[in-house]
Amino acid sequence: MEPTGNIESPRGKSERFVRQLTEHQNRLYGYVYSLLGDHARASDVVQETNLVLWRKIDEFDPEKPFVPWAFATARFQVLAHLRDQNRDRVLLDAELAESLSGQVSDQASQIDSVRQALRGCMQRLSEEHQQMLHSRYSTGKPIAEMATISGRSVSSIKVSLMRIRRQLSECIENRLATEADK
């Protein structure tokens, strides 16, 4: 018997799946990064998570929200990564990661708003501070190198970076709060 109209074709399903997966990559990255605090490892774990999700495509239900499902999978991947004894040092232990995971998912779901707020907040920084952030976070320049170039000490660069970050996160928080009021 021919499949009836309300059973979606495998092709349609995988297209929807890929669309969702692509759309939520940023959120997944934010989630995993926050629990690992390391870009290279976060990339690996997101990649593993993508593959696991894809293997579980049978469980994928287009009618259900994608993000909680993806986060739950990512959570297992992160925990497995942290528990792996052969790893180099990790920042959080599995227990802490588990207890933070709820807060992290809340924040990671709105990472696009964070990015949007970040863009606005970046503009408010002085050019010098923008440049520092750019050196550190876009080009990945080591702090020691930044210190040599600017003729400042390593510790003074660190203090500046911490201040700028603090300033940025306060600005972002304010923006997100006003956004929510609208």
Partner 1 sequence: MSKILDELDALLLDWECGELNDAGIERVREILRTDEAAQAHYVQQQMLIAAMGLEADSGLQNPLPIEEKQSEPTRSFSSDLTRSRRPHRRAGYWVAVAASVAFAVMSARLVYWEFFGETRTGSMAAVGRDSGEAVESTSQGVALLTRLVDVQWDDQPAMEVGEAISPGRFALASGFAQVEFFCGATVIIEGPAELEVVSPMMAKVRSGRLRAQVPPAARGFSLTVDDMTVVDLGTEFGLSVSDDGADVQVFDGEVELQSPAAPIRRLTAGEAIKRTDSGEFEQSTIQPERFLDSSSMASRAEGQRQQNFERWKAWSQSFRGDPRVIAYYAFDEPSDWRRRLPSTKDPSTTLDSSNTPNQHDRELDGAIVGARQVKGRWPEKGGLEFKHPADRVRMQIPGEYSSLTFSCWVKIDSLDRWYNSLFLTDNYNQGEPHWQILDTGQLFFSVRVSSEDGGPEHREVLSPSFWDPSLSGKWIHLATTYDVPNQQVVHYLNGSEIHRESIPDHQLVPVTRFGPSTLCNWSSPLRPDAHFAIRNLNGSIDEFAILSEALDAEQIQEIYEYGKP
Choose among 76, 70, 68, 62: nearest CA to 106.
68
Q: Give me the amino acid identity at 97.
A: A
Choose among 135, 140, 165: nearest CA to 150.
135
Q: Residue 64 carries which DSSP code?
A: S
Inter-CA distances, 53 with 18, 60, 125, Å: 10, 8, 40
Q: Residue 123 carries which DSSP code?
A: H
Asked whether position 127 contacts partner 1 by CB under 8 A, the answer is: yes
CA–CA separation, 122 and 164 (whole Å): 10
> Binders of partner 1 among 94-113, rule CB under 8 A?
96, 100, 103-104, 107-108, 111-112
Asked whether position 80 contacts partner 1 by CB under 8 A, the answer is: no
CA–CA separation, 5 and 37 (whole Å): 47
Asked whether position 70 contacts partner 1 by CB under 8 A, the answer is: no
Asked whether position 60 contacts partner 1 by CB under 8 A, the answer is: no
Asked whether position 169 contacts partner 1 by CB under 8 A, the answer is: yes
Q: Residue 56 carries which DSSP code?
A: T
Asked whether position 124 contacts partner 1 by CB under 8 A, the answer is: no
Interface stretch with partner 1, choices 66-74, 78-86, 167-175 (CB under 8 A): 167-175
Residues in touch with partner 1 (CB under 8 A):
10-11, 14-15, 17-19, 21-23, 25-26, 29-30, 33-35, 37, 39-40, 42-43, 46-47, 50-51, 54-55, 89-93, 96, 100, 103-104, 107-108, 111-112, 114-116, 118-119, 122, 127-128, 130-131, 133-134, 137-140, 142-143, 149-150, 158, 161-162, 165-166, 168-169, 172-173
